[in-house]
Chain A
């Protein structure tokens, strides 16, 4: 790899089409400016309210609830004259002055509110003798609306002590090392500890209190920090300290950050994929291929500008967030970098596989959807569980909120995606050559080509399988992250099934690719040798997953089931058995697949299914032996 050659290709790639201002460039710029303007205007106008007018409420002018209903856009208020709706009998609700009844739900109303004899009567729509789900949801929403209306009303009161008679201070503590976070009734800093971080992160949440009518009250007692902690993205951090100000910890932040960091990557990979696929049209890439430069230099040179742009965008976003008051810095950029690499790596592979632009569009959309899930779902649990560190985005969240992360956690979230991205480039590089670049084959055959490109003899399967292990690792981590919130009764069987399928596919596909490309003979001894190579390759590479018990997911039952390292068991003999048993398992199941694959496609599927079942049985047996 010669830096100068690489940089020259990178320069060509980035200046391609920049020569004059053509129609295309203008169109892109105009559209981008329109996008920024539109988003800016809408953000100023208050965003899109999806829930506008989803419940229709009939309410008379004089009803006590008329004003709150009119003010809340969730309700489409319909002026109703008293007695207009045929209502049934009412029953008291336990709250003074409010009764609830039903009305026949044919009047195209969900709720009907009437003031009668000095009390408020609420009627829900009834269909078939039962209140409709929608009217109950509307009533539930009305409860929240009236609460909010009351709070607004109380804010105008002169006597604020009577208006807000309850103040709340919430703090979040680790159970075991509680003593370290501040003794009860102690300092003020510990009292308002932000939930996003450890005890020390709380000192930033006191800001935003200037417009608080209640600011003279003791700050330590009234401070309530929202889920966003020191880094307050929405201005929800509030110190009024009334109960309704409590924001339950909710992953808004990861939602917004995922959107912020991942959306630009979507645009980037679109341009990158186009550029890579364009090389394959009309044999355009041939010019570079015949030049005295290596394939790795071509691909690296063409990718470099996109990596640079991704890093520049990320740095700009982190810088912007810093201006808004976040603590983020280099770590946030470091956290998003593997995601960017992953997007580019998978898109490169997709561009090598796709037959047409249409196919590329669908492949990239599939990729971005999957990768967004991978980045987003684990990050939801950023405040509650270690499983969040499956996604590098969690690192960015922790960094932006000023919480510390350990080196182990960084390695755990950054390592696997970086490895997978590297392997994507490696596999794609294998078919970045004349005979593959300019031929058109269905995507799955291209994928087999890419795998077979790494296999030259039976034992080569071991290397190809080992290359797939990071994919397996990431897929299994994602499965754990998605399933861990379910009850253990449900999640453990699901995780067993998923893992058996993922691992057997990872071992079986390279074997099958080798057979399709006639890399080895179709005899039983060869099949056994290939199976053994695949099993051993997988076993050795899988041992890196041992690291997970040390840094990643301690004490998570689902993770224990997924990555049976045996370290959970105390007995040394059991640990030894569990260390070697997987080797036997992987060799046996891979050999089953290999025997099937040597006899054609249909038997390959049969062999693979058998292998999955054997794997599943083994997992269940091991768990039963342990528990």
Chain B
């Protein structure tokens, strides 16, 4: 019985138990979950997504300056009121989304803003009002350059760009790369500890297969499945008008990290052939490694994001090479170690 036979059996058991389907389903849910967040947040933040303009009731001696500043902001409308009570009445009657009272205090323009407490549009209202106030601040600063040692830099123009352009690349793609990597190792832990706990490893031992063949077969399948899943996700994203750049380097990172995680998992399962312990140690270890990777000049997630958004630098490629080299060395060392392990001692 060769390692390909073992790998084939492992793969068949995955498809028979429909676990691979569940794995894909989980990833769809997570991707959908984060996309839901984006859609929800975009509709809260993006002016274009809101159906109509925010109306702000403006009062006070500095109201003119505020009205002028608000004119620079799209999707914001101002309405003048004579006094705060009138503005307040309009606010209570839902005729204005917010009120702003601007007056002169100690040489500054002091603005008091009232926004609705319970409204889904609250965030959007605050964002719009802030944009107007920032414009007001710039205008006021410009009037006082004489009192300033440094002039503020001119602000680049505001453009109609999605504030979540980066999201699919910086969050979604890294998530979809690291999730299969993580799950692959967890499955290897399960698969190996189960053979030991059920006592079926002994049955495999009476065949000509060595322990190394068993480990190779089981771990190899999971390591190979990772880039396939990642490739599927990238294809799906591309079909949804999110073109992902540098597919080959991303797949290379996925393969290298998956080989590392699978080797780590298999090593743990051989050292600690009790599922509960091995699985816990694996989860903690992976999370620790993921957190500790932040000490690298570039976190693996950032590397993936840079490749995906097509802004790789030389350093990004250096990290890619590093992961590949480390994984090759680690897998070679791991296989050498497994060859020396006494399978009889596993029980």
Contacts and interface: CB of A to CB of B under 8 A. Distances in A.
B148 A171 contact: no
Interface string B72-86: 000000000000110
B322 interface: no
B239 interface: no
A38 B108 contact: no
B160 interface: yes
B295 A45 contact: yes
B247 interface: no
Interface stretch (B190-198, B208-216, B223-231, B328-336): B190-198
Interface stretch (A49-57, A497-505, A583-591): A49-57
Interface string A386-429: 00000000000000000000000000000000000000000000
A573 B310 CA distance: 65
A136 B112 contact: no
B67 to A, nearest CB: 14
Interface in A153-189: 153-154, 156-159, 161-176, 178, 184-185
Given A76-B311, A485-B120, A42 B105 contact: no
B4 interface: no
B292 A38 contact: yes
B11 to A, nearest CB: 12
- Interface size for chain B: under 10, 10 to 19, 20 to 34, or 35 or more residues? 35 or more
A134 B165 contact: yes
B61 interface: no
A34 interface: yes
B318 interface: no
Nearest to A196: B117
B284 A31 contact: yes
A544 to B, nearest CB: 27
Interface stretch (A95-103, A574-582, A595-603, A612-620): A95-103
A398 B118 CA distance: 14
Interface string A14-30: 00010000011101101
Given A54-B305, A137-B166, A485-B43, A65 B153 contact: yes
A530 to B, nearest CB: 29
B183 A51 contact: no
Interface string A262-300: 000011001100110010011000000000000000000
Nearest to B287: A35
B110 interface: yes
B107 A161 contact: yes
Given A51-B166, A54-B169, A168-B113, A248 B130 contact: yes
B274 interface: yes
A559 interface: no
Contacts of B149: 157-158
A278 B197 contact: yes
B240 interface: no
B268 interface: yes
A380 interface: yes
Contacts of B134: 147, 243-244
A133 B129 CA distance: 26
Contacts of B25: 366
B36 to A, nearest CB: 7
A133 B161 contact: yes
B13 A167 contact: no
A142 to B, nearest CB: 5
B161 A159 contact: no
Nearest to A32: B284
A81 interface: no
A369 interface: yes
Given A31-B281, A38-B291, A42-B295, A381 B122 contact: no
Contact of B29 (A47, A95, A373): A373
B147 to A, nearest CB: 4
Contacts of A51: 166, 170, 305
Nearest to B144: A162
A19 to B, nearest CB: 13
A59 B9 CA distance: 57
A244 B152 CA distance: 14
B43 to A, nearest CB: 7
Interface string A213-255: 0000110011000000000000000000011101011100000
Contacts of B183: 361, 365
B156 interface: yes
Interface stretch (A311-319, A326-334, A351-359, A508-516): A351-359
A286 to B, nearest CB: 15
A159 B183 CA distance: 57
Interface string B34-58: 0011001001010000000000000
Contacts of A31: 280-285, 288
Contact of B123 (A134, A142, A248, A281): A248
A149 to B, nearest CB: 7
A28 B294 contact: no
Contact of B117 (A122, A173, A355, A365): A173
B187 A361 contact: yes
A95 B37 CA distance: 34
Given A35-B291, A133-B161, A281-B197, A24 B306 contact: no
Contacts of A270: 276, 279-280, 283
Contact of B120 (A162, A362, A369, A385): A385
Contacts of A50: 170-171, 174, 299, 301-302, 305
B190 A356 contact: yes
A47 B134 CA distance: 29
B19 A358 contact: yes
Contacts of A171: 112-115
Contact of A54 (B23, B30, B112, B170): B170
Contacts of A161: 106-108, 147
B281 A28 contact: yes
B126 interface: yes
Nearest to B300: A48
A360 B279 CA distance: 12
Given A358-B19, A365-B26, A384-B118, A140 B163 contact: yes
Given A35-B288, A172-B115, A166 B137 contact: yes
B243 to A, nearest CB: 10
A607 B134 CA distance: 61
B249 interface: no
B140 interface: yes
A175 B285 CA distance: 51
Nearest to B29: A369
Contacts of B246: none
A139 interface: yes
B288 A38 contact: yes
The 8 closest A-B pairs by CB, nearest first: A24-B277, A243-B133, A137-B165, A31-B284, A274-B276, A165-B140, A162-B147, A357-B190
Interface of B: 13-14, 17-19, 22-23, 25-26, 29-30, 33, 36-37, 40, 43, 45, 84-85, 88, 91-92, 94, 101, 105-120, 122-123, 126-127, 129-130, 133-134, 136-137, 140-141, 143-144, 147-150, 152-163, 165-166, 169-171, 174, 183, 186-187, 190-191, 193-194, 197-199, 268, 271-272, 274-285, 287-289, 291-292, 294-295, 298-299, 301-302, 305-306, 309-311, 313
13 contacts: A27-B268, A31-B282, A32-B284, A122-B156, A133-B161, A168-B111, A195-B122, A242-B137, A278-B275, A361-B186, A380-B37, A443-B18, A485-B40
Interface of A: 17, 23-25, 27-28, 30-32, 34-35, 37-39, 41-42, 45, 47-56, 64-65, 68, 76, 93-98, 100, 110, 120, 122, 133-134, 136-137, 139-140, 142-143, 146-147, 149-150, 153-154, 156-159, 161-176, 178, 184-185, 191, 195, 217-218, 221-222, 242-244, 246, 248-250, 266-267, 270-271, 274-275, 278, 281-282, 355-363, 365-366, 369-370, 373, 377, 380-381, 383-385, 442-443, 482, 485
